[in-house]
Structure 1
């Protein structure tokens, strides 16, 4: 019989991470079914699972659909009340699941929850991808409690709470399966990056809630597939952020904000060129043209109702850098 919780780990050529972190997941997740959704890996990931982890259920996608499409395809084959979408480069801890489920069952309006996410290689600091819960500013820039842009805080208990957030991190993303499918899952066009923010924004537009709890903790390595200095990551973040805003922003803010962000992206591209190399400036340009190419389809997906007070901070980029 299927358990109430299904842990789904998306894998693409991640044999190293599976071998390193699956033992802790198996040790501390006895109350969940564990699946690996393989995105057509070309390494020996599937052979490793079959030989070393026989209790792990394997779903094999016919090609690499990316993070967004890979989960959409794989989760079609998983029956559970709650999904936990877990990166392969995450170490879990004792009793990491039950506080999440207790919070779900205490508040039926909650659609998605994330735990406290600390850095695997520096365990007293928050981790870039999620920290203590995702927020967004009035210009559409995502940030986290415990991490603003590249500045990450030490965990001193300042976020030891259970509170509503704007978005939950895809690195360890618990969601009711009904809410996931009511929104038709992730936007597969995103491929990777910010698809979980878009999904959470869509959920909030339907008056569903996103939460964080400090009672569950995981440790994330980060950059297991694309590191922070990857130009491809820059491209995906630029394109997907613009498409996400077009889908979800309230109309009075839509036109001026998209235009303003296009201008700020240009400034950021020059900064990236100086800090990294020309490939990152080119990635910003490609991101803009990728957004234009998706624009007709994105407009069709525009939400019928928007949260008018969607942001938690104002002018974050200017406060942070200036």
Structure 2
């Protein structure tokens, strides 16, 4: 039996230190036909120079401008498809991989024809007893994707293989045929919800499976809350929730609109509490608050078809505060 040709796409944007640690771990992975590609989203720092110097044998692709998660990954996916990839793994650059993580994913993906994507068990790097994500689910009542068993004890939870509805974008292994038949990631989201849309789009033909035998590590801090995210998170997560559900029926749209308004109000209040207790600086509060409400307004305008998504650089076009 032919050993599947695996391409791993690691996305980088102005973060060479994290990317280098991720690449060092991938170079130790035990798999015979492994190809590692770095997709750089037009970094403005010394990322490209540092990565090329440290990994001269790896292939590095560069976008002309920052096209977000989907645009960066699509650059790598296209390259992998053009170079005879059988399976393509999409990876954030803040992941650390054990040497034996890949084989259980490859076996699970190739042993069952109906399965198109597999997702590993993701633990926190700085607290390896806690789960970051043990498979994802798309939940309407939560208006988006949910990381299952987050912050739970990894010995007690997430230890059974199962079908899931969401393969989170931090790490997922995808069959070539999925991209060929269902298309690439949607670039209209820029960041957040592209994995939700992609998971739903491919589900009409392919299954998504959670594989707990494969364990990887995420460098995000355990217990991280939404109040600690970057200002861009507030815009894109709020906007894209409405954008994703804007194609659904009228009743779902009404529910998501009310949910988004209440969510924005509650986050605004909690941001205010954070600044009053000095857990959040004024500059960061101002950026986050502004982007949060801009995300809500733009999302509502997209929902009622007053505003259209374009492929222009959304950060520049929307004049977001980074």
User: Fold-level match, TM-score > 0.5?
Assistant: yes
RMSD across aligned C-alpha pairs, in angstroms?
2.6
Q: Is the 8 A contact 1:61 1:74 kept in 2?
A: no
Q: Is the 8 A contact 1:3 1:33 kept in 2?
A: no
Deviation at residue 44 of structure 1 after TM alignment: 2.5
Superposition map of 1:10-159 within 5 A = 10-31=11-32, 32-79=34-81, 80-127=85-132, 131-139=133-141, 140-147=143-150, 152-159=151-158
TM-score by length of 1: 0.81
What secondary structure does 1:76 align onto?
helix
Partner of 1:313: none
Q: Distance in 2 between matches of 1:187 and 1:297?
A: 21
**Count of matched residue positions in the alignment of Structure 1 and Structure 2:** 287
Provide closer, same or farther for how the CA distance between residues 50 and 283 of structure 1 changes in structure 2, counting only shifts above 3 A.
closer
Deviation at 1:231, TM superposition (A): 2.5
Please give the secondary structure, in 2, of the residue aligned with 1:77. helix
Secondary structure of the 1:288 match is: helix
- C-alpha deviation, 1:59, in angstroms: 1.1
Q: Do 1:273 and 1:279's aligned partners in 2 also have CA atoms closer than 8 Å?
A: no
Shift of 1:282: 3.1
**Structure-1 separation of matches of 2:227 and 2:186:** 22
3-state SS of 1:102 partner:
helix
Asked if the contact 2:242/2:299 (under 8 Å) is kept, the reply is yes
Q: Distance in 1 between matches of 2:139 and 2:79?
A: 36
Secondary structure of 2:199's partner?
helix
8 A Cα contact 1:243 1:298, kept in partner: no
Structure 2 CA distance for aligned equivalents of residues 239 and 201 of structure 1: 18
The answer to whether 1:178 aligns with 2:177 is: yes
Q: TM-score, normalised by structure 2?
A: 0.81
1:90 deviation in Å? 0.8
C-alpha distance after superposition, 1:41-76 (max 9, x if no partner)? 222222233322123111111111111111123322
1:169 aligns with 2:180: no
Deviation at 1:246, TM superposition (A): 2.2
Distance in 2 (CA, whole Å) between partners of 1:164 and 1:143 is 14
Q: Which runs of 5+ in 1 are unaligned?
A: 301-322
In 2, the alpha carbon distance for the partners of 1:21 and 1:253 equals 43
Task: Name the SS for the 2:106 alignment partner.
Answer: helix
1:40 and 1:60 in contact (8 A); partners too: yes
Is the deviation greater in 186-195 or in 255-264? 255-264
Alignment of 1:275-290 (within 5 A): 275-276=273-274, 277=285, 279-290=287-298
Which residue is equivalent to 2:189?
Answer: 190
Moved over 4 A (4+): 297-300
Deviations 1:192-215 (A, max 9, x none): 1121111101222x2421111111
Residues 1:117 and 1:278: Cα distance change in structure 2 (over 3 Å):
same
Counterparts of 1:50 and 1:188, CA distance in 2:
27
Aligned to 2:314: none
Partner of 2:28, secondary structure, is helix
Cα distance in structure 1, aligned partners of 2:13 and 2:308: 31
Q: Does 1:235 align with 2:235?
A: yes
Mapped partners of 1:236, 1:58: distance in 2? 27
Cα distance change, pair 102–30 in 1 and its aligned pair in 2 (3 A)? closer
